[in-house]
Amino acid sequence: MTTREAEKQPIELNPLTFPLYGERLIEASAGTGKTFTIASLYIRLLLGHGSCETRNEAPLPVDKILVVTFTEAATGELRDRIRQRIIDTRLAFLKGYSHDPITSEILKQFQGNEKECCDILLQAERQMDESAIYTIHGFCQRMLTQNAFESGSSFENKFLIDDSKINELVVANYWRKVFYDLPKDISKMIAKKWGTPTALLRDVKSFLTGNQISILNASTEDLTGTEGITAKHKKNLDRIKKLKEECKEGMESLIAAIMATKINKRSFTAKSVLNWTTQIQVWSEEETVDYSFPPCIEKFTKTFLEEKTNGEIAQHPLINEFQDLFDHKPTIFGHIISDAITQCRDLLQFEKDRRQLIAFDDLLTKLSAALKNDGTGKVLASIIRELYPIAMIDEFQDTDPLQYDIFRRIYSYKCRDQETNKFGIFMIGDPKQAIYAFRGADIFTYITAKRFVESHYTLGTNWRSSAEMVKSVNAIFGNSSNPFIYEGDISFTPTKSAPNADQRGWSLDNKKMPAFNITWKDSGTNAAKDDYYNTSAFTAAVQIKEILSSNAAYLTNKGDKRKIQASDIAILVRTGDEAAVIKSALSTFGVQSVYLSGRGSVFDTLEAKDILHILNAVLSPDDDYKIKTALSTSLLNLSAFELMELEKNEHQWESIGFEFLNYKKTFERKGIQAMLNNLMFARNVPETLLACENGERRLTNILHISEQLQEQFQQLGNTHAVIRWLKECIESPNSQNEEEQLRLESDNSLVQIVTIHKSKGLEYNIVFLPFVCAFRAAKKALFHDESSGKAFLDPDSGFSALAKADKERLAEDVRLLYVALTRAVYGCYIGIAPLQDGNKTRAPSTMGKTAFGRLVCEDKTSIDLADYEKIIASFSEKFPNFGLTPFIHPEDIHDLESLIKAPLSIQNSKETPCEARVYSTNSIVTNWYVTSYSNLVQQGHSHSTYEPEVSFEKEENDKEDDEEEKLTIFSFYKGAKPGTFLHTIFEDIDFCKDVYSEETTSVITRLLKVEGYEEEWLPIIQEMVSNVLNRPLDNSGIKLCEIPANHRITEMEFMLPIQDLKAWRLSRLIEKHDDMSKGLPTLEFSDVSGMLKGFIDLTFCANSKFYVLDWKSNHLGESPECYTQDAIKESMRDHRYELQYQLYSLALHRYLKHKLPDYDYNKHFGGVFYVYLRGVELDGGNGLFSAKPSEAFLNDLESYIDGTYKS
């Protein structure tokens, strides 16, 4: 957007002389006292303060001053702050003085009228509960209800709090109406793209209410629905057919034209050209049944040729045709999105009208429509204006076109029509803090209002931060000539620091610390995203541990000095994934933290599932299976061996049954809460949980679920009905329901981890931003026209539209960074690194696409390693007061173990801490126990040293910043829970049935629902399962889809007796026999005798041979090429899976020797398969590992564990 030449310079706002009427825009930068200013203006409006040029026409009571904000929490805070200001001002009038300069000046004007002012303020204080301080939705609802005749509102409408069900119904109806009659080829494309109506709803939901979105390149044809989609499909096929004909006629002349130019012959070798033209020729001769085309067509596009040609490129019609094909790929999905949005909006309104329902967003739509009505709109606006002569709109940068249109029609036109000091609208906000686009907030609406409004004001003094912190933020954002991208509309003006702000600071070990600290990657390659996350988190964790373990870490303010506490520190992140990384790093160093933004559903937790199993057992105390299931949950935590021992002891098992019978009686007599309390204390659940990492979080969840169950028990009065309710909640958790939202565990003296979005409006003494160089490029082509502010959607995500959307993404990322940095009072730390673009470690990094990169790189978008090194080198010159430190790695710390174990300094405590007496921890010597492959491997890892690798498991409730990625098996959730889910699929399905059959589809759908995964994953999972079952496992052609159920054993359990198993001897033996074990570190488990227990994922028989198979869900990369034999072998060696298959092979070998009278190893033992589920293709060798240990090896291994081996 261009700068308006006539734009007025903003005026520094003085709360005492600000005119209390008219249309005025107030830009309040971070920390400049926005709420204080609103309260000051409110006091002036109550008292009628000001000169004849600045006061309102008459003093106003609290029910005549409208204050609108956007959340219930914000309205509560505003009401409390204004009430307190009223109380303080009234007391000042009674005393005759005030230390606050604003209040002091107000007292001067009303000298002689103190009693009258006190009466006004006392009345206002008493009426504050009736004050007109509302959310935008609350305001609209009130206006529609009070003015039902003028607004045309129905008195019979029922309010719809949760519109998710009706949205699902509407899209499902559209799906049936439009998709069921489509030809099979189109149906297949739709099924692959969306799979279910739920997946389609996810793409259209945000466009079903509010202003109608403008669809880019929307079809102008009259055909809609089934006919329109079919016509679009035919048009696409005709386009491809036409191109094929042109290829048949023109490829030869195209090649000649290209080769006649100065094309790079290394890129266009004769062999390559022949290969490409052959592919295109074959394609052009094929029947056109879909939109596919050879990827090599890209080699003949204008873009590619310009890159590879020295001089003018060839001129040929096909070059433009190929370019157009790549720029505008044929698709029906954009057409469908456009059609679905249009039809579903109509269907949704029809359903709401039919049921007489009104949802939150409908309140705005209906009031806006009423105000636009030619007959009654102006009358309604006049009524509202007389009701509330003055309106203050807080957080105005978070408005949207509909909201702005409402207030403009009520106030703006009237304020411009005539000179009056009766009516006014004050729009208060900060465009630099507009960060809620995902909620529908629209910065372009703010920009439109700024252009429309004549009177602009600013608040320019930062009252929050230290002088050095203010100076640092000014330096960072002042480094760019246009930091917020939309020049002239969102500008950066340096703020002033408050008086005495230079007396604020912090110190560590008697050294004054910089307010702004940068840590950076210092090695000569771009960083992979995971490496950046882990290294930056480790660095931040070290720095935080050093601060909190120091006896000389202080905050200083005007001479007062106090020790830094854990609660002084906040770590700001974008997503739950980032929170998990930093929380894990802090835990390694013994620093407790709390994630304050994790507000998913409590029913989407392991604790909810565990409690369900426990309740099932309590109601069936005679059902051994249910009791064993309950005892094996993570809450009661009995191992399989302990359960087995319990079952052997008839007396003990009987007592367990009586225990659960007593729980049932308590349940029926006193309720669920009493029963669960009894069970938890009898089984020491709180003590066990609180001794574990994240135990407080889990205990909070249990208590929360217990309360919810008790409430339902009181309402339903039936134990089985309560269990049905709990099942439904687990299957369909709703994080939008406040009753279900996870409660915060205690955050006393803990480091706080919070998302930047949730941190807005708050302040923290020391802020860490370890991940400022991580970002997500725009995936959805939703953008605005910069001159009109109108929103557009390109459903086909064309290059140009996506580029505009990404520009908006970057602009919001800059605003997010501004919000984050301005939370800090005394100091902040940020971690930066050049992240690799794809797999290229030395090519230009992605830093130029990040907010921090834009600010420090002078708007340069392509930043290579040389640029990065120059940037780092320039910091000391550009920002001389900044602290600069390279990333810290574990090997950089002289004594890592000591730092990890270092106690935290006692913070802010005047009492002598209680200390537990230390007793000897020498244990009784015994090495007979039940072990497993996992125990043997894991004992080799020290739990007290830092583990830098963190597995990212997607949190489904992080919607505010985690935009959807393309769904593939490689992007499917990672971690233990998703791995178990994938294993369970192969346990529950029938291998011999078609993966796409109703039965198998039902099984997979059920498991997706149980585990809380979206239905849109169904086609992805089905394709993976189909590949695995139909892929030949070896040269003999064995396929799992041909193995009947009676030839398979799932989770075959085994127990091997072991005698004096020593790590070094076992290592030497396996290295001797198996090349996979050679060169690996010696195993490090403690000597053990007893039993070695395990479960084989799948044991099966094919062609009279028996095989071991293990499913692996490990994520090795984003394509099948990441699952080659070499990659899988490296993974297996990293995790010591070779020891696993050696032990499993031995178990099967021993079993077959005892079961088959004529057992012959070479004849009956087939070998081992390790199936890396994500990497299996129907054709090719990726994703599968096979081995067959020699008979001599297994015999030696058996002798060794029996204690008879002679080396």
Active-site option among 398, 1110, 1134, 1179: 1110
Q: Please give the pLDDT value at position 965.
A: 58
The pLDDT-based confidence of 499 (bands split at 50, 70, 90) is: very high
Kindly state the average pLDDT of the residues 600-621.
88
Kindly state the average pLDDT of the residues 1184-1205.
90
Determine how β-strand 883-886 pairs with β-strand 516-520: parallel
Distance separating alpha carbons of residues 187 and 172, to the nearest angstrom: 15
Burial string for 556-569 (b: 16+ CB within 10 Å, else e) reads bbeeeeebbbbbbb
DSSP 3-state of 946: coil
SS3 content of the chain, % helix, strand, coil (to 5): 50, 15, 35
- pLDDT digits over 877-900, tens only? 888 889 999 999 998 888 888 888
Highest average pLDDT, of 227-241, 265-279, 350-364, 627-641, comes from: 227-241
End-to-end CA distance of the chain: 81
Is 33 marked as a binding-site residue?
yes
Is 983 marked as a binding-site residue?
yes
Contacts of 1107 (CB under 8 A, 6+ apart): 1038, 1099, 1100, 1101, 1166, 1167, 1168, 1169
Distance separating alpha carbons of residues 78 and 133, to the nearest angstrom: 8
Residue 715 has pLDDT above 80, yes or no: no
- pLDDT digits over 961-1009, tens only? 444 457 899 999 887 668 878 988 998 899 999 999 999 999 999 888 8
* Residue corresponding to tokens 């045309």: 152
Distance separating alpha carbons of residues 809 and 854, to the nearest angstrom: 13
| Spatial contact of 334 and 781, defined as CB atoms under 8 Å apart | no
Q: What is the CA radius of gyration of the chain?
A: 34
- pLDDT digits over 645-690, tens only? 888 887 788 878 888 888 888 888 788 888 898 888 888 888 888 8
Which of 584-588, 610-614, 731-735 has the weakest average pLDDT?
731-735
Distance separating alpha carbons of residues 699 and 633, to the nearest angstrom: 14
Q: Residue 775 carries which side chain, given as an amino acid letter? A: F
Q: Residue 1193 carries which side chain, given as an amino acid letter? A: F
Residue 70 has pLDDT above 70, yes or no: yes
Residue 935 has pLDDT above 80, yes or no: no
* Residue corresponding to tokens 């993966």: 995
Q: Please give the pLDDT value at position 120.
A: 95
- pLDDT digits over 25-50, tens only? 999 999 999 999 999 999 999 999 99
Adjacent-strand bridge partners of 65: 390
| Spatial contact of 772 and 831, defined as CB atoms under 8 Å apart | yes
SS (H, E, C) 563-591: ECCHHHEEEEECCHHHHHHHHHHHHHCCC
Q: Please give the pLDDT value at position 1157.
A: 87
Residue 779 has pLDDT above 80, yes or no: yes
DSSP 3-state of 134: strand
Is 824 marked as a binding-site residue?
no
Kindly state the average pLDDT of the residues 371-398.
92
For the four alpha carbons of 273, 278, 283 and 285, in that order, the dihedral sign comes to positive
| Residue 1120 to residues 734, 1002, 1169, Cα–Cα distance (Å) | 36, 27, 18
Percent of the chain with pLDDT strictly greater than 90: 49
Q: Please give the pLDDT value at position 415.
A: 63
The half-sphere exposure of 48 on its side-chain side, counting CA atoms within 13 A, is: 12
The number of residues in the chain equals: 1207
Which of 158-172, 214-228, 930-944, 1063-1077 has the weakest average pLDDT?
930-944
Report the number of secondary-structure helices (H) and strands (E) in the chain: 44, 31
- pLDDT digits over 182-193, tens only? 999 999 999 989
1110 catalytic? Reply is: yes
Kindly state the average pLDDT of the residues 820-835.
95
Residue 916 has pLDDT above 60, yes or no: no
The pLDDT-based confidence of 1089 (bands split at 50, 70, 90) is: confident
The tokens for 77 are 């805070």
Adjacent-strand bridge partners of 1183: none
Is 34 marked as a binding-site residue?
yes
Q: Please give the pLDDT value at position 940.
A: 53
Q: Please give the pLDDT value at position 929.
A: 63
| Spatial contact of 426 and 396, defined as CB atoms under 8 Å apart | no
* Mean pLDDT of the chain, nearest integer: 86
The pLDDT-based confidence of 927 (bands split at 50, 70, 90) is: low
Distance separating alpha carbons of residues 913 and 1040, to the nearest angstrom: 63
Burial string for 196-234 (b: 16+ CB within 10 Å, else e) reads bbbbbbbbbbbbbbbbebebbebbeeeebbbebbbbbbe
Contacts of 427 (CB under 8 A, 6+ apart): 24, 25, 26, 393, 396, 407, 449, 453
Distance separating alpha carbons of residues 520 and 551, to the nearest angstrom: 27
H helix intervals, 928-995: 933-938, 976-988
Is 32 marked as a binding-site residue?
yes
Is 17 marked as a binding-site residue?
no
Is 29 marked as a binding-site residue?
yes
- pLDDT digits over 391-430, tens only? 999 999 999 999 999 999 999 766 665 567 889 999 999 9
DSSP 3-state of 953: coil
| Residue 895 to residues 534, 787, 899, 902, 945, Cα–Cα distance (Å) | 20, 59, 7, 11, 11
Distance separating alpha carbons of residues 676 and 529, to the nearest angstrom: 44
Adjacent-strand bridge partners of 839: none
Residue 853 has pLDDT above 60, yes or no: yes
Contacts of 1103 (CB under 8 A, 6+ apart): 1036, 1038, 1166
Is 31 marked as a binding-site residue?
yes
Distance separating alpha carbons of residues 301 and 137, to the nearest angstrom: 51
DSSP letters, 225-260, are HHHHHHHHHHHHHHHHHHHHHHHHHHHHHHHHHHHT
Q: Please give the pLDDT value at position 926.
A: 46
Is 277 marked as a binding-site residue?
no
| Residue 269 to residues 35, 260, 274, 276, 303, Cα–Cα distance (Å) | 69, 13, 9, 11, 19
Which among 830, 816, 815, 855 is positioned nearest to 574, based on CA atoms? 816
The pLDDT-based confidence of 217 (bands split at 50, 70, 90) is: low
- pLDDT digits over 1123-1138, tens only? 999 999 999 998 899 9
The pLDDT-based confidence of 8 (bands split at 50, 70, 90) is: low
Contacts of 242 (CB under 8 A, 6+ apart): none
Provide the whole-model pTM.
Answer: 0.71
Residue 1 has pLDDT above 60, yes or no: no
Residue 945 has pLDDT above 70, yes or no: no
